[in-house]
Structure 1
Amino acid sequence: MTAHSPDLDAPRTRVRFNPFSAEFRNDPYPLYRQLRATEPVHRTLGMWVLTRHAEVRAVLHDRSFSAGLIPSLVSRQAERLGHCSVAQIERLGRKSLVFTDNPDHARLRGLVNRVFTARSVASLRPLVTRIAGDLMERAWRAGGLDVIADLAAPLPVAVLCEWLNLPEDMRGQVGPWTHDIRFLLEPGMMQAGDFERVCAVVEEFAAAIDAVLPERRARPGPDLISQLLAARTAGGDALTDEEVVFVCIMCFVAGNETTKSLIGNGTLALLRHPEQAALLRRGPESVQAAVTEALRYDPPLQLTKRLATRDIQLAGARISAGEQVLVCLGAANRDPAVFAGPDEFDLTRTAGGHLGFGHGMHGCLGGLLAELQAQVAFEYLFVRSADLRARSREVEWQDHSFIVRGPKSLPVDVWRAR
């Protein structure tokens, strides 16, 4: 009689993917690990869920997977809730870089890339350093701060307000506006009241930026709005005023929450791995390594969707045209086929290829700016500060988004380094 392994004889329990559960919110990585091992191309909740680096990267690279899913989801959700007047937010979706496909995407990206250059972002370091320094001065005087509320959240909003040179009376409204409009990234979470508020906010935000354009056209400066208005292709093509307005709005919507969570997630990982924080303190060259590893280890954008526009075979599964595909960036970044010791936070890691900023033509336009702000934040928290200590071992994760992962708050004690 042949002996059998209990593991082989036991019926296989199907792993259930539930991104809305408290367990997933607190720590999605055990579930990602199970799915990678058992069903890396997983059909559930009316869509395909991908968790291995190879398939996630392939879908992001394949232009036949459309990113233009959000506007139709907004329309569908609005109709389901009996809210019919969503023309402006539909238009924002259909004309934004984040949600367009070629040829519209190539045209918009070609123009905006003329402004979002590595050189222009690098020139913002003194600005980012000044704003972060002002925020940290208050923390040092107080002997502590909430890394999220007092640094990670206000920093990206203030930096963009300065880069756009927005009027002073507008700057206090930008944060709340951005928080409301980010619902567009997850229309399935919107209720009737959310549609009312988002429609009103988009109108108000767009009108406020539009009012600035004539003055910038007449008296251009080094600010982002002036640069967007001046951008031209070799053939003379330029952004329309509406496109300039939408680019500005989406800079806040796409960049604020992710930058905040990058700083929060990275700070938390360094606090939980003091030996890695010690490496960071030894030299400024380790700051970029800390940002890169934070993006891999616990990326702020965990999930993003695509729509198949053709039938395709992927890792043995047949995905049909018209089906939705959820790509799990956080899972891909912990794939042992690409990263040795993937669950370890390691600043000395040499393997590249993380997908924290996506991949392909929809790779994050503002990635360099997010990295710059995280670099400066980590410098202030771990190099210019002494004895940074978390006030609690418990972490409450934000619950207003299921695609973005980040702490709701992160209180720490901190003093200026001598």
Structure 2
Amino acid sequence: MTVSENALGAGTAVASGSSVTSTPARIRFNPFSADFRRDPYPLYRQLRETAPVHRTLGMWVLTRHADARAVLQDRSFSAGLIPQLVSEQAARLGHRDVARIERLGRKSLVFTDNPDHARLRGLVNRVFTARAVAELRPLVSRVAADLMARARSAGGMDVIADFAAPLPISVLCEWMALPEQLRERVGPWTHDIRFLLEPGMMKAADFVRVVEVVEEFTDALEALLAERRAHPGTDLISRLLAARTAGGDTLTDEELIFVCIMCFVAGNETTKSLVGNGVLALLRHPEQAALLRRDPGLAKAVVGETLRYDCPLQLTKRVATRDVAIGGAVIRDGDQVLICLGAANRDPEVFDRPDEFDLTRDTGAHLAFGHGMHGCLGGLLAELQAEIAFEHLGHLEPRATELQWQDHSFIVRGLTSLPVVVREAP
């Protein structure tokens, strides 16, 4: 996703307005609580209104759209925190064999800063083009139709387990032309490696498993690279192998492998949650679901409004590399900043009636895919998959059940299950 990326000069206030620099006693920001998982938006609203820029849990928490957008586009805020946290957590747990996963962090687009980021992005962008993603529409439609055919045959499904989870995995496996014996392993591998996105949640056993999985995944992809070099095709791996800059620069084998691994790790959980959160919003807003049934062309609007209303990636971190004034507070060089994307996307200064799910609104200003140079590389693919999903889902009715929100990640918001009955259109 290409967005304006002008960095702000040293010492510039990236957003104006008053703020509270410590959380009021009556408000406790705890992203690990069950109440926050069920519904974080009342707390976000309180924080925006009373302490939009405040320090808690050893970091600065931002909840206003203007502040979040400004930090995301300011290149002096580093995205390279994860590799450092992996090393620190490994040391705390006495786990030393982490060289490969540390390199995976340092060489992944999600966690790199310039000049590494510009080099990697320049190469990968040659493959992840709007045209290349658009060409995947028939593939995504076929996968979605197959999943829905099974659901109709069964009379119902779990939207998460039976549709939203297998959709992105299947699409990526097809795009990479992975052999069948590898496809059945990719899902479990992706589930294990996701811990790298939140190193603080990793236990000693998690490090052991992640190291094993990354080695297994790397070995499997190394074999594929040799095969695709000898017999290139139109698949994603072949295209990444062929990608080069005007100066002749190419991805190293390990860099290419890391790109493929992170496609699964970064794209699976968020796309799954985007579809699940969108279905839940439609079930809770039957008048909007009726609009979609009358006009299937609104599927794209469902995607945009879901990304704004209940975005999968709720939180993202940056580290200040200089002193910066934000909303009356001074964030010092080295301070960690937690950007609440879910709060920014419901800021009434940007979105009218922000707590309403409305398919007719303009959602172009949402920050669900980030902003600036770290804007989500796979955003277009996630949008395409979700759009086609909403085109195929048809008439669903909820089964009576208590909603369970996942608790293996505090940055991603998504359901663990969503049972529904599949009806023929009335």
TM-score range, shorter chain: over 0.9
Matches of 2:363 and 2:316, distance apart in 1: 23
> How far off is 1:417 after superposition?
3.9
Query: How many correspondences in the alignment?
Result: 403
Aligned: 1:164 with 2:176: yes
Matches of 2:322 and 2:217, distance apart in 1: 37
Contact 2:82 2:111 in 1 (8 A): yes
Partner SS for 1:352: coil
> How far off is 1:221 after superposition?
0.5
User: What's 1:84 paired with?
Assistant: 96
Matches of 2:258 and 2:300, distance apart in 1: 31
Instruction: Choose from 18, 26, 33 the match for 2:30.
Output: 18
Partner SS for 1:162: helix
| Uncovered stretches (5+) of structure 2, i.e. residues with no partner | 1-23
Aligned: 1:403 with 2:415: no
User: What's 1:6 paired with?
Assistant: none
User: What's 2:17 paired with?
Assistant: none
Matches of 2:117 and 2:335, distance apart in 1: 21
Which whole-Å deviations, capped at 9, do the CAs of 1:347-406 have from their partners, x for residues lacking one? 00025200011111001000011011111111111xxx33x1000253110111000001
User: What's 2:422 paired with?
Assistant: 414
- Matched AA of 2:411: I
Instruction: Choose from 48, 55, 75 the match for 1:43.
Output: 55
> How far off is 1:15 after superposition?
1.6
Matches of 1:394 and 1:30, distance apart in 2: 20
Partner SS for 1:212: helix
User: What's 2:14 paired with?
Assistant: none
Aligned: 1:295 with 2:303: no
Which whole-Å deviations, capped at 9, do the CAs of 1:308-360 have from their partners, x for residues lacking one? 01111111111111110000000000000000000000000025200011111
User: What's 2:66 paired with?
Assistant: 54
Aligned: 1:70 with 2:78: no
After superposition, the CA RMSD in angstroms is: 1.0
Which whole-Å deviations, capped at 9, do the CAs of 1:28-84 have from their partners, x for residues lacking one? 000000000011011000000000000000010000000000000000001011111
Matches of 2:205 and 2:112, distance apart in 1: 27
Matches of 1:226 and 1:345, distance apart in 2: 41
Matches of 1:352 and 1:75, distance apart in 2: 38
Instruction: Choose from 189, 192, 208 the match for 2:201.
Output: 189
Contact 2:314 2:340 in 1 (8 A): yes
Aligned: 1:354 with 2:351: no
Matches of 1:187 and 1:219, distance apart in 2: 38
Aligned: 1:389 with 2:397: yes
User: What's 1:318 paired with?
Assistant: 330
Matches of 2:74 and 2:246, distance apart in 1: 28
Which whole-Å deviations, capped at 9, do the CAs of 1:114-146 have from their partners, x for residues lacking one? 000011001001101111111111100111000
Which whole-Å deviations, capped at 9, do the CAs of 1:231-277 have from their partners, x for residues lacking one? 01111111111111000000000000000000000000001001001
Aligned pairs for 1:13-412 within 5 A: 13-381=25-393, 385-386=394-395, 388-392=396-400, 394-412=402-420
Matches of 1:350 and 1:130, distance apart in 2: 30
- Matched AA of 2:406: Q
Which whole-Å deviations, capped at 9, do the CAs of 1:171-215 have from their partners, x for residues lacking one? 000000000000000000000000000010001011111110011
Partner SS for 1:394: coil
User: What's 1:5 paired with?
Assistant: none
Percentage of pairs with the same residue? 76
- Matched AA of 1:359: H
- Matched AA of 2:343: A
> How far off is 1:285 after superposition?
2.4
- Matched AA of 1:97: L
Matches of 1:338 and 1:68, distance apart in 2: 29
Contact 2:65 2:347 in 1 (8 A): yes
| Uncovered stretches (5+) of structure 1, i.e. residues with no partner | 1-11
- Matched AA of 1:408: T
> How far off is 1:284 after superposition?
3.0
Partner SS for 1:60: helix
Matches of 1:340 and 1:59, distance apart in 2: 23
Matches of 2:88 and 2:47, distance apart in 1: 30
> How far off is 1:16 after superposition?
1.2
- Matched AA of 2:33: S
Matches of 1:48 and 1:14, distance apart in 2: 18
Matches of 1:129 and 1:352, distance apart in 2: 25
> How far off is 1:85 after superposition?
1.2
> How far off is 1:218 after superposition?
1.2
Matches of 1:199 and 1:317, distance apart in 2: 40
Matches of 2:160 and 2:345, distance apart in 1: 24
Q: Using the TM superposition, name which of 278-287 and 53-62 deviates more.
A: 278-287
